[in-house]
Structure 1
Amino acid sequence: MIAFDCRLDRTDFHFAAAFQADGGVTALFGPSGSGKSTAIRLIAGLERPTSGRIAVDGHVLVDTAEGIFVPPHARRIGLVFQDALLFPHLSVRSNLTYGRWFTPRAARRIALDPVVEVLGIGHLLDRRPGTLSGGERQRVAIGRALLTSPRLLLMDEPLAALDSARKLEILPFIERLRDEFAMPIVYVSHAVEEVARLAAKVVKLDRGRVAADGPPAAVLAPASLAEATARFDAVSFVTGTVIRQISDFGVTVLGHPAGEITVPGLIDPAASPVRVAVRATNVTLAVGRPGQMSVRTMLAGRIVAIDVDDGPFALATIALTGGERLVAFATRLAMEDLGLDVGDDVTALVKAVGIDERSLPGLKAAGGSAG
């Protein structure tokens, strides 16, 4: 378990945040400058808080009231940054094993071979970092951190420097670390697709404070226009089970009590249930059941809230049949023309091409076009 409660005062930034996490992946989420990396640096011991306390699995790392400050090298915390920061003159094998020498022999509970197998880097062991792709370098960096047998793994925007293809390559490996090593991870990101796929808990930071914390669906779905200041970042989640793959067209159909959800790519049925991130700008509201159209996903629900202001937009919250909520942006004009109000039954339409594959676990192959 992680217990964090710290204040840090700088001339131009004041940080004061507290949260707890029980294991799995805890995502620190928020815009640039919100304090995500500050929290990581405090946990790692790279900065001292003005006041506060940090403990990991009962081991007190910082307690300013008691005068406790464990130095970074003694905290047994693994670090993975945007840049892999590998030693260019060492082989991959030597980079991997470098950190183990700083871990007491009795505490070395993670062996080289399982890490190499999980990360799929056995064929890279004799190569130098300069010959690796960005995704390969990042896998090696993750392996090096893991081989220190840390109590906690800190990942600070580990995919930010990679292109979309490399991100899709790395995400399954992070899932395997989470699941096969039961390694608690604090994961910093401002990419909602990564958070949706990996995290059990989200701590949302804003200007150095905790704005919200809880499950991704509760934290990341806005309830008002004020919360959805950047409408393209407003997102909600629906969860379905794989009911069929349409291999010829590269899509998977998920079952949900409100209807079927078509997503891009072929998803392994063993990955069920599948949590799908749906951006509010990718949801269209219809009265009744639409006729022939390219959109495949049609979910039945009822409007439970509508938030408007003096601007052009409205934010509707739809309670889907069978549970879960979906948020949708529309213009106020459209809502008025359709006569939509709280309590009305609607069909929520979601285009598959607007669903990012990075939010989908168990993806075996990318598909072609889907409406």
Structure 2
Amino acid sequence: MNKLPKVLPLALSVELRLQQPGLDIQAQFRVLPGRVCAIVGRSGAGKSALLKATAGLHPSLGGRVALGNQAIYDSTAGVNLPPQQRRLAWLDGHAHLFPHLSVQGNLEYGLARAPKPVNGPNFDAVTQWLDLRSLFKARPARLTPSQRFKVALGRALLSAPRAILLDDPLSGVAEHDQPPLLDLLAQVPTRSKLPVVLISPRMNEVIRMADDVIVLHEGRMTSGGPVPQILSDVSLSTFLEGVNAGSVIEGEVKRHDIQWLLSEIDVAGQRVTAPAVLHAVGRKVRLKIRARDISLHRDLLEGSSASNQLRGRITQIMLAGENGSYGAVGVELDHVRETGDFSIQPGVQIWALLTRRAIQEMDLAPGQPCVASFKAMSLAVSSWR
């Protein structure tokens, strides 16, 4: 028997203009297959409206949405496919399961929506991955929020979509139940090879899942790029995390200290100590450190409780106005070669938030070598898909 033809994943390109009451929204972005683009910003910035317009659930004033070279919305060419024909899977915190159908019925509904003849996801593989087989006969009203989420995710994947749109998908699940579901979500881009767009107010989800991020402020894109670059830009803290602003850096687990329940992570050739993580040696991880938790020194410290001391060089100093009480100091980390020599590793940068007095008394200036210190307990470590 001949196999059904497979359709290669395509990039999702979005360039839209739309309106909400009191807000004019304009944005453009492109997501490659197997990658995740997160849209972040304050509440009311237009994030959900932009995602709904991409799906055809909100009217647009103009622009274009395309999968590869195929437009599913193009105001100039008069193309405007209805949502059910765009083949963009939508998942939010409400699940939207059919109450009159069983779990199996909901899943089979998704499978029936997959176009033929095209090889879509395998029903048995998806239901086994999500551990749904024991729930087949249950109705949605009897499910827990976590179970409803998994059924909705399975139904979305079984419909063989061309891209996946996630609008705060874990908002309907209690916080203590979110971590295992986030682990499942983080596997989706790799398993499906589809472009994924994520909206979430929780930065741990963005750090865990996203490859790229765009910042939306009052309907306009203020910045965009790789996660470590954008989420480490303290100049965007007003739009993002405020007092929790800091740096996101990528590393690799190198060693576990069982005696002290600590893990060592390589960052630019230097070792960072963190509370024990469950990730295997060799696993890529992301580390989040608040700028206010970092101290700067001229030389390495002795007899300090700050177990992490990273060598680097000051790149810039941003003061909070002429009369502000603090400033942000950017430090580019030295890259340590296996020979023990130091060199600059462009792009690996952390930020320290210091008082203006400390900056002045230390006479800090761009180009100066320094040591950035912080406690192991100040780190948040996340696996990175």
What is the TM-score normalised by the length of structure 2?
0.86
Q: Which region of structure 1 is more displaced relative to structure 2, 61-70 or 240-249?
A: 240-249
Q: Is the Cα contact below 8 Å between 1:193 and 1:277 reproduced in 2?
A: no
Q: Is the Cα contact below 8 Å between 2:254 and 2:281 reproduced in 1?
A: no
Q: 1:196 to 1:171 in 2, by over 3 A?
A: same
Pick from 331, 337, 350: which aligns with 1:318? 331
Paired residue secondary structure (1:267): coil
Paired residue secondary structure (2:52): helix
Pick from 161, 180, 205: which aligns with 1:169? 180
Q: 1:61 to 1:93 in 2, by over 3 A?
A: same
Rounded Cα–Cα distance in structure 2 between residues aligned with 1:105 and 1:155? 25
Pick from 307, 330, 340: which aligns with 1:296? 307
Q: Is the Cα contact below 8 Å between 1:135 and 1:169 reproduced in 2?
A: no
Q: Is the Cα contact below 8 Å between 2:247 and 2:289 reproduced in 1?
A: yes
Q: 1:257 to 1:21 in 2, by over 3 A?
A: closer
- Whether 2:28 is the aligned partner of 1:18: answer yes
Deviation at 1:46, TM superposition (A): 0.4
Unaligned runs of 5+ in 2: 1-10, 336-344
Identity, % of aligned pairs?
A: 29
Count of residues in Structure 1 that have an aligned counterpart in Structure 2: 361
Pairing 1:1-371 to 2, within 5 Å after superposition = 1-23=11-33, 24-107=35-118, 109-222=120-233, 224=235, 231-257=242-268, 259-269=270-280, 272-308=283-319, 309=321, 310-322=323-335, 323=345, 324-357=348-381, 359-361=382-384
Q: After superposition, what is the alpha-carbon deviation per residue over 1:186-226, rounded to whole angstroms, capped at 9, x for unaligned?
A: 11123222222211111211111111111112222225488
Q: 1:300 to 1:20 in 2, by over 3 A?
A: same
Q: After superposition, what is the alpha-carbon deviation per residue over 1:255-310, rounded to whole angstroms, capped at 9, x for unaligned?
A: 22463212334233366222222222232223311222333222111111111122
Q: After superposition, what is the alpha-carbon deviation per residue over 1:32-89, rounded to whole angstroms, capped at 9, x for unaligned?
A: 1112111110111001211111101332111111111100111111111022222344
Q: After superposition, what is the alpha-carbon deviation per residue over 1:151-206, rounded to whole angstroms, capped at 9, x for unaligned?
A: 01100011234344322111211122111221221111232222222111112111
Rounded Cα–Cα distance in structure 1 between residues aligned with 2:266 and 2:276? 16
Paired residue secondary structure (1:298): strand
Partner of 1:368: none
Q: After superposition, what is the alpha-carbon deviation per residue over 1:223-265, rounded to whole angstroms, capped at 9, x for unaligned?
A: 5488678532423222222111134544321022463212334
Q: After superposition, what is the alpha-carbon deviation per residue over 1:302-349, rounded to whole angstroms, capped at 9, x for unaligned?
A: 111111122211101000011200012122123234333322322222
What is the TM-score normalised by the length of structure 1?
0.89
Rounded Cα–Cα distance in structure 2 between residues aligned with 1:262 and 1:120? 35
Unaligned runs of 5+ in 1: 363-371
Partner of 2:3: none
Q: CA RMSD in A?
A: 2.4
Rounded Cα–Cα distance in structure 1 between residues aligned with 2:144 and 2:259? 31
Q: Which region of structure 1 is more displaced relative to structure 2, 178-187 or 116-125?
A: 116-125
Q: 1:48 to 1:161 in 2, by over 3 A?
A: same
Rounded Cα–Cα distance in structure 2 between residues aligned with 1:271 and 1:43? 38
